[in-house]
Amino acid sequence: MKVLVTVKRVIDPYVKVRVKSDGSGVETANIKMTMNPFCEIAVEQAVRMKEAGVVTEIVVVSVGAQQSQETLRTAMAMGADRGILVDAGVDVEPLAVAKLLKAIIAKENPQLVITGKQAIDDDSNQTGQMISALMGWPQATFISTITVNGDTADVTREIDGGLEKLTIKLPAVVTSDLRLNEPRYVTLPNIMKAKKKPMEVIKPDALGVDVTPRLKVLKVQEPPSRSAGVKVADVKELVAKLKNEARVI
């Protein structure tokens, strides 16, 4: 079975982002970038399924700028077999990403598509569901387990009140939640090997997809900051403050 995994290059989650002073976006120059953590979990899942003999080939796809090739190389160092970069620049909206992926899926014919549940930059949480809708395929979002049985898969989804179990027909799209697995660290020999794996770079035009944004960003601002707090000396003082000052207990 062939699996297609999507990866996105994002600002490192441990970096404090700064809004540009002109309100046009956030500072990205000279900032540490990394693979979106949920995409890492998605890649890891595909690699584990390959190691278990369920998957025969892993194609990893990114939509972004040229630098996203580094992210694809990381995915290949984790164990993906080949990479495809859709060189569409940054800030491509989820709908356009889903359309690009649909065009690639039509060429590659994977049985399973794994995406991260959300990218931690734009926080949209849309792409996997949109790919699934455009393909007319089943979807299982926010999964914490997956077992493939022939032409179906059993999945566990993380929902607000607990867990949900589904059986989905393949081909399907699943999106990874936090507890699906713990991604491996890439080793130097595997990084070297990944450099030799095939990488294809295509333009959105070649896939016949218009990536013009539908949303116009009018401005980007810092969130309102909280007023400075008070350090209390002990539990007694804390309780007194909560009762008499904040009046919340």
| C-alpha torsion angle, residues 20, 26, 29, 31 (rounded to 10) | 130
Q: Which of 126, 143, 183, 209 binds other proteins (CB under 8 A)?
A: 126
Q: How far apart are CA 112 and CA 148, in angstroms?
A: 10
Q: State whether the Cα torsion 127-130-134-140 is positive or negative.
A: positive
Q: Closest distance between other proteins and the C-beta of residue 185, in Å?
A: 16
Q: Which is nearer to other proteins, 74 or 141 (CB)?
A: 141
Q: How far apart are CA 82 and CA 133, in angstroms?
A: 26
Residues 36-95, interacting with other proteins (CB under 8 A) = 38, 93-95
In this structure, are strands 139-149 and 152-159 parallel, antiparallel, or unpaired?
A: antiparallel
Q: How far apart are CA 239 and CA 165, in angstroms?
A: 44
Q: Closest distance between other proteins and the C-beta of residue 194, in Å?
A: 27
Q: Closest distance between other proteins and the C-beta of residue 149, in Å?
A: 12
Q: How far apart are CA 153 and CA 48, in angstroms?
A: 15
Q: Which is nearer to other proteins, 196 or 219 (CB)?
A: 219
Read off the DSSP letter of residue 24: S
Residues 179-238, interacting with other proteins (CB under 8 A) = 179, 213-223, 226, 229-232, 234-236, 238
130 binds other proteins (CB under 8 A): yes
Q: Which is nearer to other proteins, 58 or 131 (CB)?
A: 131
Q: Which of 32, 123, 196, 208 binds other proteins (CB under 8 A)?
A: 123
29 binds other proteins (CB under 8 A): no
Q: Closest distance between other proteins and the C-beta of residue 86, in Å?
A: 17
Q: How many CB atoms lie within 10 A of CB 31?
A: 13
Q: How far apart are CA 57 and CA 141, in angstroms?
A: 22
Q: Is 196 left (phi over 0), alpha (psi -120 to 50) or beta?
A: alpha
Residue 34, H or E segment: strand 33-35
Residues 134-173, interacting with other proteins (CB under 8 A) = 134, 137-142, 144, 154, 157-169, 172
Q: Which is nearer to other proteins, 150 or 229 (CB)?
A: 229
Q: Closest distance between other proteins and the C-beta of residue 195, in Å?
A: 31
Interface stretch with other proteins, choices 49-57, 82-90, 126-134, 186-194 (CB under 8 A): 126-134
